[in-house]
Amino acid sequence: MSKKFAYSKEELEKLSLKQLQDLAALIREKIIQVVSQNGGHLSSNLGAVELSIAMHLVFDVSADPFIFDVSHQSYTHKLLSGKEDVFDSLRQINGLSGYTKPSEGDYFVAGHSSTSISLALGACKAIALKGEKRIPIALIGDGALSAGMVYEALNELGDSKFPCVILLNDNEMSISKPIGAISKYLSQAMATQFYQNFKKRVARMLGVLPNSATYIAKRFEESFKLITPGLLFEELGLEYIGPIDGHDLAEVILALKQAKAMQKPCVVHAQTIKGKGYTLAEGKHAKWHGVGAFDIDSGESIKKLDAKKSATEIFSATLMQLALKYENIVGVTAAMPSGTGLDKLIDKYPNRFWDVAIAEQHAVTSMAAMAKEGFKPFVAIYSTFLQRAYDQIIHDCAIMNLNIVFAIDRAGIVGEDGETHQGVFDVSFLAPLPNFTLLAPRDEKMMQKVMEYSYLHQGPIAFRYPRGSFILDKEFSPCQIKLAKAQWLIKNNSQIALLGYGQGVGKAWQVLRSLQELGKNANLIDLIFAKPLDEGLLVELARESCIWFVFSENAKIGGVGALINDFLQKYDLSIKLISFEYADEFIEHGKTSEVERSLGKDVKTLVEEVLRFYD
């Protein structure tokens, strides 16, 4: 068949099963080709090709809400929906997003897990109020079932009985190994036809048996359900079909048609192979979940290797050393053991470090109890995912003033994953919390010192660090970390001062170096702490420099600049303060360097901005 990817529901219905299978093969080929060049989510998309085709054939994407949980498996949907002409721009700046996005014609935005069923239920209510006949279809992975929000939605959906179809993509793998009883339960599923035929036979039997025998037959059916995967959903009041072969298009299409015709909430349980169609990626290989550019034949990365250690690697190695030194250190992550570097500690100390799956709220509160018991928890969660545990951070950690450490990975711009993943709000949402201390390292040596200090610190404390390596390429002498003490890195007789926080110190140094090449000088300060600030050093700095520039990879509102501005007002200091933090808008996807340039946060633009203030 021709290499056409965009099909309407009516066009798909006219294709033979063989043509649909050929379309699936073409889509896989296209996904592999584009992701090998641009990077992206590979194995999750390859595993969901048939599911997505069946969704588009059975449901009407122009009317029915198509809801993708996380939406990192939506590439087939994008191609079928008419994005083939721009698919080559996937995850590139000003190109197609790697997730669903309403501005690109999708129903809803998604970048985090376990929201799809809540969204589907909300859509059901709206459709009912409007008297329409549309039916939401939600595609969700088994890994997302580890989050409590799913069960809150299932509980209400099963009670409300709105027409809704939940397509459960069960590949026994979220990002790392599956965690929890739910994944294990689903992986023990029985064959579809047997269970479905059995249910039908029992139903017929109940209809003809005398009343005296009905009770026995009903109890037999209920006992049988105890060993089937449908029990979980049927006990919540949902219909259940499956498990089915998620790569058998005919079976998937039939199951979705049956579920749609029920006009009730129904779960279609499809078993799939992650990475299907690309042998190197098939199965439980975490490295193929999200990839950079790679060679298709060998599977080897073609990205230039960064000779510098990543901040995550430094965190992992340092925490390993601290865990060996201090036996009361424990740690947790939420489905990101390899991404946060906690996998090595989980392997070495399985009784002290845990991956609790996609359950950030539970991760934080469980560690709060451990802190109460005298342990020192390190909670390693990406900046963008930590937002999900905000109530627990306030209620269970800050109010109790517990000795708990938040290691905030992926702080700042993270690049191609875009606005749902940019880690630019953690300073803003943590700084207002009483009892909280915030600090950030500028390089490897300071990371080690920050982590040692964090262990010794009393009260909740959070330090942030970037995706990839630290950009500071000059070795300044590390200082001993003391509460609310900054470090004066370069002291010049200048009216200009550059104040850096974390990765911002590296950016400030790059700007200063360019200024020095132009014969200009400035003072350079590593704040180290955003809360509390080193007020003594800042008062001293105010005597020498009257123009301050703030470098921090956080949102401007509530960011480091705002904290410094509060300090200036407190002491009534007449300082011109310019923050180079991010404006009040969500940051689009693209390579980090290109995104920075588009925002005017690249070194060249920043140097030009600073130069305007020299006499």
At residue 602's C-alpha, the angle toward residues 597 and 603, to 5°, is 155
User: Which residue type occupies 97?
Assistant: S
Q: How many CA within 13 A on the CB side of residue 509? A: 19
Out of 239, 360, 553, 581, which one is annotated catalytic? 360
Half-sphere exposure of 238 (CA within 13 A, CB side): 31
**In the numeric block, which tokens belong to residue 202?**
């029992």
Does the active-site annotation cover 388? yes
Using DSSP, state whether 516 is helix, strand or coil: helix
Token pair, residue 216, equals 């026995």
Cβ within 8 Å of residue 85, ≥6 positions away: none
Starting from the edge strand earliest in sequence, which strands make up the sheet with 353-355, in order? Answer: 353-355, 329-333, 376-382, 405-409, 461-464, 437-439, 529-531
Alpha carbon distance 218, 466 (integer Å): 58
418/38 Cα distance (integer angstroms)? 14
DSSP state of 305: P
- What is the distance between the alpha carbons of residues 252 and 341, in angstroms, rounded to a whole number? 38
Task: From residue 361, give the alpha-carbon distance in Å to each of 147, 358, 391.
Answer: 9, 9, 8
Rounded Cα distance between 564 and 533, Å, is 8
3-state secondary structure 39-71: CEECHHHHCCHHHHHHHHHHCCCCCCCEEECCC
Integer Cα distance of 39 and 324 in angstroms: 37
547, amino acid identity: I
User: Alpha helix locations (H) across 188-342?
Assistant: 192-208, 211-225, 231-235, 249-262, 311-325, 337-340
**Cβ(368)–Cβ(407) below 8 Å:** no
Please spell the DSSP secondary structure of 152-174, one letter per residue: HHHHHHHHH---EEEEEEE-S-S
Residue 250, CB half-sphere, CA atoms under 13 Å: how many?
Answer: 4
Give residue 127's identity as a one-letter amino acid code. Answer: I
Per the annotation, the verdict on 274 as an active-site residue is: yes
Residue 570 annotated among the catalytic residues of the structure:
no
Q: Tell me how far CA of residue 365 lies from CA of 136, 196, 362, 394, 399, in angstroms.
A: 33, 41, 5, 10, 12
**Which structure tokens are listed for 79?**
């191609």
What residues are paired with 290 via a beta bridge? Answer: 41
Which among 388, 410, 531, 601 is annotated as catalytic?
388
**Contact between residue 363 and residue 389 where contact means Cβ atoms under 8 Å apart:** yes
Contact indicator for 100, 110 with CB cutoff of 8 Å: yes
Q: Are the C-beta atoms of residues 87 and 34 closer than 8 Å to each other? A: yes
Name which of 358, 351, 306, 309 is nearest 331 in CA terms: 351
Residues marked active site are found at 274, 360, 388
